[in-house]
């Protein structure tokens, strides 16, 4: 392999690793915010509904809705945290040229694409950020699958 091939491969893997670190930080921060917001929302809603002093069925129904919303937000936040830590671990593997980071990168990028598509389909609409993440993650997957130098750098059969 030529020196320029090594430099190109090193640059490619490092750029993808840096991209994953950025995604990891964003996901971890968002996960913490959503989990905290969900917990505060649930506590606040229960406090408000409990202080009304009413025992009718509408208050009980409102408490159930608040509980479901709280649980949903906390679950989304925990998933975001998990994905963030997964991307961070994968980025460290890329920096260290670990063979498992090749498959980790494909999985993390695939999950990001799937989540963006789910967001679009569930009604958030097509946003510029969603399109950018889909294109970037798709390019990473394509490049990792087709580039023999990247495969070689990460210990995969070229």
- Measured from the Cβ of residue 115, the count of other Cβ atoms closer than 10 Å reads 18
In this predicted structure, what is the pLDDT of residue 158? 60
In this predicted structure, what is the pLDDT of residue 76? 86
Q: State pLDDT tens for residues 83-106.
A: 999 999 999 999 999 999 999 999
In this predicted structure, what is the pLDDT of residue 82? 94
In this predicted structure, what is the pLDDT of residue 49? 59
**CA nearest to 97, candidates 26, 5, 21, 12:** 12
All residue ranges of the chain with pLDDT < 70 are 1-9, 42-68, 158
Return left, alpha or beta for 125; rule: phi > 0 is left, psi -120 to 50 is alpha, else beta. left
In this predicted structure, what is the pLDDT of residue 64? 67
């Amino acid at each position: 392999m030529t020196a320029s091939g090594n430099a190109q491969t090193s640059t490619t893997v490092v750029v993808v690793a840096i991209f994953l670190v950025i995604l990891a930080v964003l996901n971890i921060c968002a996960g913490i915010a959503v989990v905290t917001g969900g917990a505060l929302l649930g506590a606040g809603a229960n406090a408000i509904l409990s202080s009304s002093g009413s025992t009718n069925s509408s208050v009980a129904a409102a408490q159930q809705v608040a509980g479901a919303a709280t649980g949903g937000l906390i679950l989304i936040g925990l998933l975001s945290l998990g994905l963030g830590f997964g991307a961070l671990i994968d980025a460290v593997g890329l920096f260290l040229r670990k063979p498992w980071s090749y498959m980790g990168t494909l999985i993390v990028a695939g999950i990001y694409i799937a989540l963006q598509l789910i967001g679009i389909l569930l009604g958030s609409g097509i946003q510029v950020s969603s399109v950018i993440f889909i294109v970037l993650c798709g390019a990473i997957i394509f490049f990792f699958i087709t580039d023999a130098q990247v495969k070689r750098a990460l210990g995969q059969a070229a």
